[in-house]
Amino acid sequence: MEDENLKTFLIPNDLCKSAGIAGTWMSGNKIGVFPYHNINHSSKDAPSQYTKNVPSSVFHVKHEVVLFHPILRRLVTESMGIFLNLQTVVENKPSDYKQHLQQFSVQYRSVIRASLENLRDEVLRATGEERETLQNFITIFYSVECIWHLCEILYIENIPGHVVIKHLLEWVRFHFPKYERKAAFLLSGESIGSLESRQDYWETVIGCLLQGRVEVVRALLSCHSAANSTHFKLADQILKSMPTYGVYEGVSVQEFNLRWKHWLVDTQSKIDSKLFISEKNLHLMMRLIVGEEMAWSEVQSQCEAWYELLAAWLFYTEPTVKSFELGAFAKRCISRMGTRMHHLDRVLLAAMEGDVQIIKEIQHMTENGWFVTHLMDLLYHCEQLEKWQTDKEDSLKLRHSFVFEYGNTLAGHKSLWQLGLNYLDHCFPDGLAAIELLLPRVPINDESKAHRVIQEAQKRGLSHIAHSVAKIEGLKSLRNDRMGNALVWALRSQDSNFASFLADKFLKKYVDTGILPNVDLLSYLGSCMMASDRLIFLGKYYQFNKLHKDKSYREAAKALVSLIASKFTPKFFWSTLLSEALTLLECDELLLSSNDVFNLLNAVEERLDCLCELDELEPLIRLGIARNLSRALTYEAQYT
Partner 1 sequence: MGRNIHCTYISEKINKIRWRPNPFNDPKQFVTGSWDNDENHIRLWEVKGFEEDTDINPFEINVLPFDGDVTELKCVNPDYLIATSNEGKVYLIKIATNITEEICLSHEIVWDDAHQGMPCTSFAVYDKDIATVGEDGRINLLSIMNKAPTRVIDDADSCTVNCVEFLKFNELITGNSRGQMKIWDLRADEEKASQIFMLSGDSIVAATCLAQHPTQRHLTAAGDEHGSITLWDLRQNTYPLNVMTSHTESVTEVQFHPDRPEHIFSCGQAGDVFHWSGIKQGACEESAWYTSTTNKYDIFMLMPQLHTTINSIDLNRDRLLCGSDNEAMYMIEGVNIYS
User: How many CB atoms within 10 Å of residue 166?
Assistant: 18
CB of 489 to partner 1, least distance (A): 8
CB of 348 to partner 1, least distance (A): 30
State the Cα–Cα distance between residues 541 and 559, nearest whole angstrom.
8
Nearer to partner 1, 71 or 214 (CB): 71
Residue 32 interacting with partner 1 (CB under 8 A) = no
Residues that contact partner 1, how many (by CB under 8 A) = 40
Select from 68-76, 391-399, 497-505, 558-566 the region that touches partner 1 (CB under 8 A).
68-76
Residue 136 interacting with partner 1 (CB under 8 A) = no
Nearer to partner 1, 72 or 169 (CB): 72
Nearer to partner 1, 121 or 605 (CB): 121
Residue 65 interacting with partner 1 (CB under 8 A) = no
Nearer to partner 1, 18 or 463 (CB): 463
CB of 114 to partner 1, least distance (A): 9
Burial 98-115 (b: 16+ CB within 10 A, else e): eebbbebbbbbbebbeeb
Number of H helices, E strands in the chain: 32, 3
Nearer to partner 1, 70 or 250 (CB): 70
Q: Sheet containing 21-25: give its strands across.
A: 21-25, 30-35, 59-62
Angle (CA) 52 54 59, round 5°: 130
Residue 452 interacting with partner 1 (CB under 8 A) = yes
State the Cα–Cα distance between residues 468 and 134, nearest whole angstrom.
43
Select from 70-78, 167-175, 607-615, 616-624 the region that touches partner 1 (CB under 8 A).
70-78
Q: Which residues contact 55 (CB under 8 A, 6 or more apart)?
A: none
Residue 26 interacting with partner 1 (CB under 8 A) = no
Please say whether the beta carbons of 56 and 15 come within 8 A: yes
CB of 516 to partner 1, least distance (A): 11
Among 105, 408, 422, 543, binds partner 1 (CB under 8 A): 422
CB of 258 to partner 1, least distance (A): 48
Residue 259 interacting with partner 1 (CB under 8 A) = no
CB of 422 to partner 1, least distance (A): 6
Residue 409 interacting with partner 1 (CB under 8 A) = no
**Is the Cα dihedral 373, 374, 380, 383 positive or negative?**
negative
> What track of x and - describes contact with partner 1 for positions 474 through 493 (by CB under 8 A)?
------x-xxxx-xx--xx-
Among 175, 449, 509, 558, binds partner 1 (CB under 8 A): 449
CB of 453 to partner 1, least distance (A): 11
Among 20, 32, 81, 246, binds partner 1 (CB under 8 A): 81
Q: Angle at which helices 483-493 and 463-479 pack, to 10 degrees?
A: 170
Percentages helix, strand, coil for the chain (3-state, rounded to 5) are 70, 5, 25
Q: Which residues contact 105 (CB under 8 A, 6 or more apart)?
A: 148, 152, 156, 157, 378
Residue 199 interacting with partner 1 (CB under 8 A) = no
Among 23, 26, 66, 73, binds partner 1 (CB under 8 A): 73
Nearer to partner 1, 65 or 326 (CB): 65
CB of 404 to partner 1, least distance (A): 19
CB of 415 to partner 1, least distance (A): 5
State the Cα–Cα distance between residues 61 and 9, nearest whole angstrom.
9
Nearer to partner 1, 47 or 70 (CB): 70
Angle (CA) 9 13 15, round 5°: 125
Beta strands in 245-349 (DSSP E): none
Residue 112 interacting with partner 1 (CB under 8 A) = no
241 exposure class (CB count in 10 Å sphere: 0-12, 13-18, 19+): exposed
Residue 30 interacting with partner 1 (CB under 8 A) = no
Q: How many residues does the chain have?
A: 640
Calculate the alpha carbon distances from 429 to 152, 249, 306, 422, 436 in Å: 29, 49, 44, 14, 11
Residue 346 interacting with partner 1 (CB under 8 A) = no
**Under rule CB under 8 A, which residues in 490-529 are in contact with partner 1?**
491-492, 517-518, 520-521, 523-524, 526-528
Distance of CA 155 to the CA centre of its chain: 25
Residue 441 interacting with partner 1 (CB under 8 A) = no
Q: How many CA atoms lie within 13 A of 337 on its CB side?
A: 22
- What single-letter DSSP state applies at residue 155? I
Residue 549 interacting with partner 1 (CB under 8 A) = no
**Is the Cα dihedral 564, 568, 572, 573 positive or negative?**
negative
Nearer to partner 1, 426 or 548 (CB): 426
Calculate the alpha carbon distances from 49 to 23, 44, 616 in Å: 20, 11, 64
Residues that bind partner 1 (CB under 8 A): 70-71, 73-74, 77-78, 80-81, 84, 414-415, 418-419, 422, 445-449, 451-452, 455, 480, 482-485, 487-488, 491-492, 517-518, 520-521, 523-524, 526-528
